[in-house]
Amino acid sequence: MFTGSRTEWDDAVLPFQLDGADVRGRVARLGETLDSVLARHDYPSAIESLIAEAAILTALIGQTIKLRWKLSLQVRGTGPVRLIATDNYAPTEKGEPARLRAYASFDEAGIEVEGPGFPQIGEGYFAILIDQGDGTTPYQGVTPLAGGSLATCAETFFAQSEQLPSRFVLAHGRSRIPGEIERWRAGGIMIQHMPKASPSAAADRPYDADPLAATDILNGDDAENWRRVNVLLDTVDEMELIGPHVGSSNLLVRLFHQEGPRVFPVQPVRFGCTCSADRVRSSLSIYSARDIGHMTTDQGLVTADCQFCGSHYEFDPKTLGFEANPEVTGDD
């Protein structure tokens, strides 16, 4: 458990660059945003921890891409933790916050509530999906689960799929401010080496090959720069990442002052869900009247719940399905 107060750096991502080492990175902290994500479901502690780790990862990764719409992170496994899914939506207007949401699907009977979360995912894959909106082709990158944490899975993803040596250091936990209720906080630092690596490093590698390491991609001065920055990053502690007492820019100066850290505008992050009655209705439009009949409750309604925010929707079955659309059926 962490103690402290909210700071101006809560629910924000600070981009930075280390000019002396050709390394870029992000510092992210989530407070009320993470609390809002987790408050919508009664998750056991093992699931809460996995979602907290996935959420801070998504906030960090989402801000490294010139995102026009949505970046999603998905973790699927064969164990009692079946799915962890997050979405990061880019701001629609300059100055607006990015929006983050997350949820998990799991076997309630099989989950070890107080046990570590990652081993309960089992075998599976780690995927990043990028949707830049209408008129574009979505991107999907997939790598096997590896390394014992979601952070190491993300490092493997960037090394193997993007040829970018990357490092993630994360912390999360419950925080109690004197006189207030217990809340969730999470923080993390992401670093990536800037130069493009040779595409031959991962050419023709099978899906289940051993994960690439930075030494497989970098050499010479690049390798030494990367090693030095990682040694400095190893000195960070959980309280600095969670951040009640140390601002993000001060943390960068403390860690990397010899590397010439340069910071860029802060990107705020908030909880946000895109579900709506119109979107749910649209998703149900692919079904026939017979299918809609099977979905109709004894009360004569078709119901749907958003897995991310828990919103509940009810519809008249006569308004749903492609057979309810005169343009499709040809009815007047």
pLDDT digits (tens, 9 = 90+) for 242-289: 866 778 888 999 999 989 899 999 999 999 988 888 888 888 888 888
Helices and strands (H and E) in the chain: how many: 10, 14
195 pLDDT tier (thresholds 50, 70, 90): low
Residues whose CB falls within 8 Å of the CB of residue 204, separated by 6 or more in sequence, listed in order: none
Residue range(s) of every CATH 3.55.30.10 domain in the chain: 10-271
Quote the tokens at residue 11.
Answer: 């629910």
Length of the chain: 332
pLDDT at 290: 86
**Fold category of 277-329 in CATH:** CBS domain Like (3.90.1280)
Name the amino acid, one letter, at 28.
Answer: A
Highest mean pLDDT: which range of 100-104, 193-197, 206-210: 100-104
pLDDT at 229: 94
Give phi and psi for 312, each to the nearest 5: -110, 135
Angstrom CA distances, 190 to 15, 23, 63, 95, 233, stand at: 9, 10, 11, 23, 10
For residue 4, name the pLDDT band (cuts at 50, 70, 90). very low
CB atoms within 10 A of CB 167: 22
DSSP one-letter code for 144: E
Q: What is the value of pTM for the model shown? A: 0.83
Give the per-residue pLDDT at 219. Answer: 66
Ramachandran class of 311: left when φ > 0, alpha when ψ lies in -120 to 50, beta otherwise: beta
CA dihedral 31, 37, 40, 46 (to 10 degrees): -90
286-290 long-range contacts, Cβ below 8 Å, gap at least 24?
286/321, 286/322, 287/320, 287/321, 287/322, 288/321, 288/322, 288/323, 289/321, 289/323, 289/324
Task: Choose which CATH entry (3.55.30.10, 3.30.70.260, 3.30.910.20, 2.40.30.40) describes domain 10-271.
Answer: 3.55.30.10
Q: Where in the chain is the domain with CATH 3.90.1280?
A: 277-329
* pLDDT at residue 331, as a whole number: 41
- What dihedral do alpha carbons 318, 323, 325, 329 form, nearest 10°? -140
Greater confidence (207 vs 241) lies with 241
Can you give the pLDDT at residue 172?
A: 93
308, 272 in Cβ contact below 8 A? no
Q: How far apart are CA 292 and CA 301, in angstroms?
A: 10
Contacts of residue 99, Cβ cutoff 8 Å, sequence gap at least 6: 88, 89, 269, 270, 271, 272, 273, 274
Question: Percent of the chain beyond pLDDT 90?
Answer: 49
63 touches 15 (CB < 8 A): yes
